[in-house]
Structure 1
Amino acid sequence: MMLSDLPDELEAEILSRVPAKSLVKLKTTCKRWVYSISEDLHGINRSGVEPSIKFTGGKHISVKILISKIFHCEGLILCCNEWNTRLAVWNPCTSQKRTIKPRTRYQGQDMYALGYAVNNKSSSSCHSYKILRYCLNKNEQNNRVSTEFEIYELCSSSWRVFHYTNGDFGVHRGGISLKGDTYWVAGLSLMKFDCTTERFVRLPLPFQSSDLDDTVLSAIRDEKLSVRISHF
C-alpha cells in the first residue's frame, strides 16, 4: 500500500503525531500535506483553547495576556494584545518568542502586517521577515490626522520609518499574507505591499463592487488569493 492510498482520517492522525519541527520539513513533500499541516497546528484550532497566553516565572509572577489580533506568515505568528500596547512574534514550532518594543509607542488604532523579503542572490532559503506598522497620528494643534508607516526587521531588531506618498492608503481592516506579501481590501480595490521591494501596489478587484459591499480576503492553501464579496 502506498501512502497516497491511506484514508484522509488516518493520514491526518499520523501527521498529528509527528513533532512540530519535523512537520515544517514535511511541508515540501507534497501540496496536499502543505494544506493539511498549515490548516491546523496539532489541533490547536479545534481544541477550543482560550485565546490567551499565560507567562509564569517564579512563585509570585503570573501575567495573563489576552490576544486580540493575530497575523501569521510561513509559520511565524504576530500577536498583539487587546489594547495594542504589546507586540510579540512567536514561532510555535520552536517555542521561540520575541517581544517587539515600539520605536515610540503603540496606539489602539495601529494596524500590522507580517511578511518577508525574497533575496534571489542568496543561496540561503531563510526569509528576511518584516513587520509593517500602519498608524494614524493626530496633531492636537490643528486636529489634522496624518498617516505613518514603520518597518521592523527581525534580522536587525530595529524599526525605521517608511514613507508612503501615493495618496490615501484607504485600508480599514487587517490584511492577509501570501508568499511574503500582504494584501488588504482598500475601498473598491486591493492594496498589496511587496515586502521585497517595500512598495505599495494598488490592484483592481476581479469584479465590480460598491461601498456597501462586504469584501473579504483569504488564502487558498498558501498559494492563491481568494476574494469573497457579499452584496447588501
Structure 2
Amino acid sequence: MDSTKTIKETGVQDQEQLPWELVEEILTHVPPISLVRFRTVCKRLDDLFNDKTFIDNHKLTFRFILATKSKIYSVSIDPKIMVRELTLAVTGKESDIKHLADCNEFLLCRKKKEAAVWNPWLKQSRWIKADVSQCSFEVDGIGYDNHNMRAEERRYKTIGSYLKNHSVWKPQSLKEESWKDLKLKASRGDKSLKDKVTTLFTRCGVSLHGNLYWIAFYDKTDLLYHLINFDFSSERFYTFFCDLPCGMNHPRNALVLRVFKGDRFALLKQCYKTKKIEIWVTKNKINVEDGDDVVWMNFRTLSIPNFPGLVSNEYSSSQPSYFIDDKRLVMCSCDETGHPWIYIVKENKLISKVKLNSVVDPWPVHCTYFPSLVPVPGSPREEALLQV
C-alpha cells in the first residue's frame, strides 16, 4: 500500500487512509463555520454535511432557542440537556426579542421595529429594517422561490404585514432589501369562501419547501381550523383546503403546527382542561397545491397523570415548541410562573422533565431549531466565506 496515498474522500494527505467512520467522528468535533469551507473539498463531504444524522451527532448541535428580555440561549437535548448562552453577533441587539420562528434553514428573530435572519449554528445574522412608512409593521416569515434549487442557489425573501382596516402584506427580496406592495390575487378554491375573512391563529408561519403555512379559521363562533399558505414564487396566498383533524378548538388549547420528517406536517393539540395531548401527522409528503389529497393520521394520544398544561392561563398566546424524533416527543414550554421546562415523552410515558434554571428571566420566547450549514444571504461572514 502506498503510504503517501492521498485521501481523496477528505482532501487530506496522511500516512495512511483513515476509515470513513473515524473521519465522520472527527468532523463532529469541527466548528460549524469550518464545515462550510470543507463542503467544496469533494461531493462525499458535501453529501455528509446534508445528512440529518451527521448534524444530529455533531457535538455542538442544539434543538431549541430561547430568548428572554436580556439573553438568548440554546438548548441541547442529547446526550443530556444542556443550556448555553448565544449571541446574535450584533452588539446590543440581544435584548427585548419579541418572537422567534424556525423558517427553513434560518431563524426569524423579531424585535419591535426590526428583525434578523439568523443562523445561530454558524453565528451569522443579518438585520432587516421594517417598512418605516408603517408604524405597526412586523416581519412575519422567511421563504424562497425556485423551489428545486440547492440551498446556496435559492433566492430568499421575507414577508411582513401591518394592520390597517385589515392585514396588508408586503414581500421583500433579501438581495434588493426593499419592501414592495403585494397585490393580492384571487386564490384557488371554493368561490363560496371568497367573501369570508380569514383569521390567523398565530402570526408567524411554518416553513415547508420555501412556502409559509398558517393555522387559520373563518368564524370565531365556529372554530374549525384549516391552513393557508403563501407561495414566494408567485407571491400569492392560497387556501390550503384540508381541515385540521383537531375539530372544534378552544382558544386556550395548545395547537401547534410543525414540519415532520422534513416533508410532512405534524399537529399537536393539548386540551386545557384534561391536559390530554393528541398528535396527528400527514400520511404522505406535502407536494400538492391545494390540500385536497392531504390525509391526517393519529400519531399518538397521551393521557399522562399530572402532566402540566403546555399553555399557561395567563399567557395563552405562548404556544409550546416541540419536535418528534426517533419515536420521542420533545417539548419546551413555560410553567405558570414563567420558568421554561423540557419534557421528553417516549412510548406514551414521560421519561424526563427538566427545569431550565440557568434561563434567568421568566417568560422566554422559544422555538425549535434544526442546525443548518446554509450561510445567511448577504451577511458579513457569508461574504468572507465566498472569498476563502
Query: Residues 230 and 179 from structure 1, CA distance in 2 versus in 1: closer, same or farther, beyond 3 angstroms?
Result: same
Structure showing greater relative contact order (alpha-carbon pairs closer than 8 Å, 6 or more residues apart): 2
Question: Which residue does 1:182 correspond to in 2?
Answer: 212
Question: Which residue does 1:194 correspond to in 2?
Answer: 231
Corresponding letter in the other structure for 1:228: L
Q: What pairs up with 1:109-148 in 2 under 5 angstroms?
A: 110=138, 112-118=140-146, 125-137=152-164, 145-148=165-168
Q: Secondary structure at the match of 1:160?
A: coil
Question: Which residue does 1:140 correspond to in 2?
Answer: none
The size of the alignment, in residue pairs, is: 210
- Say yes or no: does 1:207 pair with 2:245: yes
**Preserved CA contact (<8 Å) 1:191 1:201:** yes
Question: Which residue does 1:73 correspond to in 2?
Answer: 103
Give the distance between the partners of 1:39 and 1:219, measured in 2 at CA: 19
Corresponding letter in the other structure for 1:156: E
Corresponding letter in the other structure for 2:264: K
Query: Residues 206 and 99 from structure 1, CA distance in 2 versus in 1: closer, same or farther, beyond 3 angstroms?
Result: closer
**Preserved CA contact (<8 Å) 1:175 1:217:** no
Q: Aligned to 2:33, which of 5, 21, 32? A: 21
CA displacement 1:64-89 (0-9 Å, x = unmatched) = 523221223343222112xx222122
Question: Which residue does 1:90 correspond to in 2?
Answer: 118
Q: When the two structures are superposed, what TM-score results if normalisation uses the length of structure 2?
A: 0.45
Corresponding letter in the other structure for 1:136: L
Corresponding letter in the other structure for 2:114: R
Cα deviation for residue 110 of structure 1 reads 3.6
**Preserved CA contact (<8 Å) 2:172 2:178:** yes
**Preserved CA contact (<8 Å) 1:54 1:65:** no
Corresponding letter in the other structure for 1:33: F
Q: Secondary structure at the match of 1:21?
A: helix
Question: Which residue does 2:201 correspond to in 1?
Answer: 172
**Preserved CA contact (<8 Å) 1:27 1:33:** no
**Preserved CA contact (<8 Å) 1:193 1:199:** yes
Cα deviation for residue 54 of structure 1 reads 7.3
CA displacement 1:125-183 (0-9 Å, x = unmatched) = 5111111112212xxxxxxx222001111011111111336652321313211121111
Give the distance between the partners of 1:111 and 1:63, measured in 2 at CA: 16
Question: Which residue does 1:226 correspond to in 2?
Answer: 266
Structure of higher CA gyration radius: 2
Q: Aligned to 2:74, which of 34, 41, 44? A: 44
Q: Aligned to 2:171, which of 147, 151, 155? A: 151
Q: When the two structures are superposed, what TM-score results if normalisation uses the length of structure 1?
A: 0.71
Give the distance between the partners of 2:247 and 2:227, measured in 1 at CA: 12
Q: Secondary structure at the match of 1:67?
A: coil
Give the distance between the partners of 1:200 and 1:208, measured in 2 at CA: 23
Question: Which residue does 2:183 correspond to in 1?
Answer: 163
Alignment RMSD (CA, Å) = 3.7
Cα deviation for residue 124 of structure 1 reads 8.8
Q: Secondary structure at the match of 1:131?
A: strand
Structure 2: any 5+ residue segments left out of the alignment? 1-18, 40-44, 65-72, 77-81, 186-193, 218-224, 273-388
Give the distance between the partners of 1:51 and 1:20, measured in 2 at CA: 14
Q: Secondary structure at the match of 1:205?
A: coil
Cα deviation for residue 186 of structure 1 reads 0.5
Corresponding letter in the other structure for 1:18: V
